[in-house]
Amino acid sequence: MVKARHWTRPEEFHGEVKESDLKLVEENLSEDLKDGEVLCEAVYLTVDPYMRMHGSVIGERKTMFGAAVSKVIKTRNGEFPLGTLVLSGSGWRTHFISKDGKDLKPIPFDLGNLSPSVALGVLGMPGLTAYFGLNRKLEPKSGDVCLVNGAAGAVGSIVGQLAKLKGCTVIGFAGTDDKCEWLKQELGFDHAFNYKKIKLEDALKQAAPKGVDIFFDNIGGDFFHEMIDKHMAQNGRVYPQINMKILFHELTIRGIIVSSHYNEAQEALAEMSELVKKGQLKYKETLFDGFDKMPEAFVGLFKGENTGKAVIKASNYP
């Protein structure tokens, strides 16, 4: 028998996560394996912010979930010999038995002299979040100003460095002076600010007077809103942390100001007017008769009194 331990979670975390929310449970795992089974012992485990999640995202799971790097300590599966290092989504467990090895993955790169823990960080889920989030979604170019908060965290620290490699000017925000020193001295960030000591606005006056082209948000909240309200450059790109649905559905949220497209208007109107004339594009107008009806028409907009376009007939035509 192996004494296996795992951490259980509450159905929901209320407010700040507290250690007392988690309970350590012991169980005996039989070492008497069946054909195909693999007994694994965790070598490295990970804690990530998403583990607070609940509801449909995690379903009925009672054990804290997440990835692990484990070693095979007993096996009846030829694919996973004794001592093999494997990645799994086995959660916060010291030991587990894989029934057939299908839930185990070899480390997908050559570790060389690296610690296997990198498969949970820089060369794991957080590193890939940084890589795909930045390189695939935000299209960094040389000369862009890239701002990342949570900059000394698992994702943020990689985002900043990948952005530097693309030739961006990189600004990081983190919560201690030591973290900021690390970002600047060792990771090569151009600027790093302790958000507990300096206002965003003051920091960006010196670091990004023309605005930020790429904002990789790891925090959400006021920081996010202030960035969007005041500090983004024209055509800026944002990885947001405000709503998990945006992330899960990989939504693209793009701003548009129609006047920027007026140079293409003639073409668009030619196409649309044809559709209107053919009855393939229908429209309705809520007509207010007389110039003195303008306030009524205007107020009506905020009460839903118009269907289609509210227009005012001010005089006769022709």
Ligand X SMILES: NC(=O)c1ccc[n+]([C@@H]2O[C@H](COP(=O)([O-])OP(=O)(O)OC[C@H]3O[C@@H](n4cnc5c(N)ncnc54)[C@H](OP(=O)(O)O)[C@@H]3O)[C@@H](O)[C@H]2O)c1
Strands ordered across the beta sheet of 191-194: 191-194, 169-174, 145-149, 212-216, 232-239
Question: Which of these, 50, 185, 182, lies nearest to 125 by C-alpha position?
Answer: 50
Select from 176, 185, 234, 243 the one that contacts ligand X (CB under 6 A): 176
Least distance from ligand X to the Cβ atom of residue 9, Å: 16
204 near ligand X, rule: CB under 6 A: no
Question: Which among 30-38, 45-53, 269-277, 301-309 is the span making contact with ligand X, rule CB under 6 A?
Answer: 45-53
Q: Is 253 in contact with 277 (CB distance < 8 Å)?
A: no
- Cβ proximity to ligand X: between 10 and 240 the closer is 240
- Cβ proximity to ligand X: between 101 and 153 the closer is 153
> Do you know the residue count of the chain?
318
* CB atoms near residue 163 (< 10 Å): 28
Listed in sequence order, the residues at least 6 apart from 50 whose beta carbon sits closer than 8 Å to its beta carbon are none
- Cβ proximity to ligand X: between 4 and 171 the closer is 171
Least distance from ligand X to the Cβ atom of residue 129, Å: 4
- Cβ proximity to ligand X: between 48 and 213 the closer is 48
Select from 49, 116, 211, 240 the one that contacts ligand X (CB under 6 A): 49
Residues between 111 and 170 with contacts to ligand X, criterion CB under 6 A = 125-126, 129, 150, 152-156
Tell me the two tokens of residue 201: 């606005």
240 near ligand X, rule: CB under 6 A: no
Binding-residue total with ligand X (CB under 6 A):
20
Q: Which long-range contacts (CB under 8 A, 24 or more apart) does 81-85 make?
A: 85/43, 85/111, 85/116
- Name the phi and psi angles at 149, rounded to 5: -105, 175
**Binding stretches for ligand X (CB under 6 A):** 48-50, 125-126, 129, 150, 152-156, 174-176, 179, 218-219, 241, 247
